[in-house]
Copies of this chain bind each other. A is one copy, B any other.
């Protein structure tokens, strides 16, 4: 199992923090906390504690060279997405990715461009299967 294959399992709250860090890049607890504050209200030390735990778990890296620590995500967004998605396919959609795809498309209007992109992708895939 490679570096990207580590079994990550962020909790709800942890995922919120990861999203902020993926978006903003390396940040202080204060910065993360302020972004979160827009959607949720928890105390500052709550955010701090969560990020400390995430660091212990290996979800976050941190730079402690200055007094105010700088945290950054130690897991890539793509790997995390893939792992959570794979798990959902397994446990919710009985292993059928296409069942999930149909469900996803059915309930979310996608733009014409997005649909094109997906169709293009499917065409390429069919070619591969046929060869």
Decide: B122 and A115 in contact? CB cutoff 8 A: yes
**A75 CB-CB contact with B under 8 Å:** no
- Per-residue B-contact encoding for A98-112, CB less than 8 Å = 1, 0 else: 101111111110101
CB A79 to nearest CB in B, in angstroms, measures: 11
Once bound together, how far apart are the Cα atoms of A41 and B45, in whole Å?
38
Q: List chain B residues, Cβ under 8 A from A125.
A: 105, 110, 115
Binary interface encoding of chain A residues 105-131 relative to chain B, with 1 for a CB under 8 A from any of its CBs, else 0: 111101010110111011101100110
**CA separation between A55 and B112, bound complex, in Å?**
43
- Is A70 in contact with chain B by the CB < 8 A criterion? no
Query: Of B16, B91, B105, B129, which is within 8 A of A101 by CB?
Result: B105
Chain B residue at smallest Cβ distance from A100: B104
The reply to whether A19 and B105 form a contact with Cβ atoms under 8 Å apart is no
User: How close is A114's CB to chain B, nearest CB, in angstroms?
Assistant: 4
Closest approach, in angstroms, between the C-beta of A121 and any C-beta of chain B?
6
B104 touches A89 (CB 8 A): yes
Question: CB distance A98 to B115 under 8 Å?
Answer: yes
* CA–CA, A105 and B100, complex, Å: 10
Q: Tell me how far the C-beta of A75 lies from the nearest C-beta in chain B, rounded to whole angstroms.
A: 13
Nearest first, the 3 closest Cβ-Cβ pairs linking A and B are: A97-B108, A98-B114, A98-B110
